[in-house]
Structure 1
Amino acid sequence: MRKWSRKNSLSGLKLRSEMDAREANVLRSLVGAVSGLLTERADSAPDDDLAALTGLRTGNTNPPDDPRLHRLLPDFHRSEPGSPDADRADLNSALRGLHEQEIIDAKLAAGAVVLETVPASGGKVQLTPEQADAWLHALTDVRLTLGTVLEIDADTPDHLDPDDPRAASLDVYHWLTWMQDSLLQALAP
C-alpha cells in the first residue's frame, strides 16, 4: 500500500492511496470478519414487546462473552471499587440495552464504507474526508479485534520470531496501524 496523500480538487478534498490485490483482500476479509461478529451480536438481541410497541430498538442487556466483542462493545459505566455504585450492574445492562444496537449500526456503517471503497482486486482508493473518518473507525475496530486475539499489551514486542504462529498476524496489525496513521497524517491540515 502506498502512503495516503491529499489532493484538493474542485469537488473538495480527496485522500488517495493504492493497494495491491493481496492487501485489498486482507483488508476486506478483516473488515468483513468484524462486521460478521457485530451482525451476529445484533441479531442475538432478544425480542422486546415494549420495543415492538414503541418502535424503540433494544439490544442485548448482557455484555458479550466473546472477548473480541467485549473489546468492541465495552461496559458503559465502570465504578470505582468501594464507591456507592460499585455493584450497579443494572446500570450497564440498561445502557447496553438502550444504546448497543445504534453503536453496532455505526460500526457496521463504517465497515461498509471500507468495503465499498476498496477495489476487490486492488487498485486506487480515493476517499472524501467523511469516508476517511469511516475508514479510521473501521480500522480501529479491526485493530481492537486483532489486538484482542493477539493479546497485545505494552509488553508485546514489535516483532515475533518468524516461527511464532502469531508473527504474520502481528505484521498485519502493524500494517493496519501504519495505514491508520498515514490516513490521519493525510487528513491533518
Structure 2
Amino acid sequence: MPGTFEPLPGGGASVALDDVEISIIRSLAVQLLELIGPGPAEDTPADPLAELFAEGPSEPPSDPVLKRLFPDAYRDPETPGNPQEAAEQRAHSAEFRRYTENDLRAGKRENALAVIHSLNALTPGEGGLAVLELAPAESQRWLGALNDLRLAVGSRLEITDEDDTDDFYRLPDEDPRKPMVMAYLWLGGLQETLVSTLMP
C-alpha cells in the first residue's frame, strides 16, 4: 500500500513512494540538515580529534525547532518555586548540554543523510511508484529522522500537545497552514507504520 511501511521478511521495512512524497521527505531532510548545521570540527577536517574533544554549547538554541530537537535536560518548574533550585537546574542543564549536544546533533545529521541517500538511490517502478526497502539498521535511522522531521514541522505549526492536532483536521483548504499540516499528519502516519514493522 503506497505511503505505508510494511515489514520485510527477515526484518526491515518497505514503503512505496511517489515522486511528490519522495520530494517532500528529501526537501524536509535537507532543510533539517541546514538547520542543525555542520559538526564542530568542520573547519578543521585535518584534525580527527577536534570533533571528539569539542565541547558543545551551554545555552539552549534560540530557534524553536532546535529547542524542540535539543530540549533542556533539566527544566525549570512550571510553577514558581525556589529561585536557587531553578538556578541549579539551569546550571545542570547547561553542563549536560555542553557534553551531549554535539553527539545528538551528529546522530540527527547521520539519520537525515541516511534518508537522503536512500531516496536518491530509488528508481521509479510500476505506476510511477518507487519501492524503498530498508534493512533493520536503516529502519532505525529512518525512524529517528521521521521523528525529527515531525517535531520540526510541529514546532513551526506551534503544536505543543497532540490534542492541538484535532483542530487541524478541520482546517479549510485556503488556510496557508494546510500544506504543512498535511505533511505533519502524513509524517505521523509513516512514523506509526514504521514503528509497527519494528515491533517483535
Give the alignment's TM-score, normalised by structure 1: 0.85
The separation in 1 between residues aligned to 2:51 and 2:65, in whole angstroms, is 32
Q: Percent identity?
A: 29
Match of 2:179 among 153, 165, 168: 168
Q: Say whether residues 1:7 and 2:8 are aligned partners.
A: yes
Q: Separation in 1 of the partners of 2:52 and 2:36?
A: 21
Q: Distance in 1 between matches of 2:12 and 2:199?
A: 12
Summarize the alignment of residues 75-86 of structure 1 with structure 2, pairs less than 5 Å apart.
75-80=72-77, 81-83=80-82, 85-86=85-86
- The farther-off stretch of 129-138 and 75-84 is 75-84
1:117 correspondence with 2:118 = yes
- Equivalent pair of 1:24/1:121 in contact (CA under 8 Å): no
C-alpha deviation, 1:93, in angstroms: 1.6
The one-letter code sitting in structure 1 at the alignment partner of 2:7 is R
CA shift digits 1:113-171 (9 cap, x unpaired): 11121246651100011111111111111111100101124234123111110011101
Pick the aligned partner of 2:35 from 26, 32, 37: 37
Structure 2 CA distance for partners of 1:22 and 1:94, relative to 1, 3 Å: same
Structure 1 residues 133 and 53, CA, compared in 2 at 3 Å: closer, same or farther? closer
1:3, distance to aligned residue in structure 2 (A):
1.9
Question: Take 1:116 and 1:146, find their aligned partners in 2: how far apart are those partners?
Answer: 21
Distance across 2 between alignment mates of 1:4 and 1:82: 46
Please state whether the residue corresponding to 2:170 is helix, strand or coil.
coil
Counterpart Cα distance in 1 of 2:24 and 2:192? 18
Q: Aligned partners of 1:85, 1:133: CA distance in 2, in Å?
A: 38
Match of 1:24 in 2: 22
Alignment RMSD (CA, Å): 2.5
Runs of 5+ consecutive residues of structure 2 not aligned to the other structure: 42-48, 125-129
**What secondary structure sits across from 1:85 in the alignment?**
helix
- In terms of mean alpha carbon deviation, does 78-87 or 167-176 score higher? 78-87
Out of 117, 133, 142, the residue aligned to residue 126 of structure 1 is: 133
Contiguous gaps of at least 5 residues in structure 1: 45-51
Aligned to 2:103: 102
Contact 1:159 1:167 in 2 (8 A): no
Letter in 1 for 2:185: H
What is the rounded CA distance, in whole Å, between the counterparts of 2:35 and 2:51 in structure 1? 28
Alignment of 1:144-155 (within 5 A): 144-152=151-159, 153=161, 154-155=163-164
**CA 61–180 in structure 1, closer or farther in 2 if over 3 Å, else same:** same
Match of 1:56 among 48, 53, 56: 53
Q: CA deviation at 1:79?
A: 4.2
- TM-score when scaled to structure 2? 0.80
Name whichever structure is richer in helix by fraction: 2
Cα separation, 1, equivalents of 2:123 and 2:186 = 19
Aligned length, in residue pairs: 180
Misfit runs of 4+, over 4 Å: 52-55
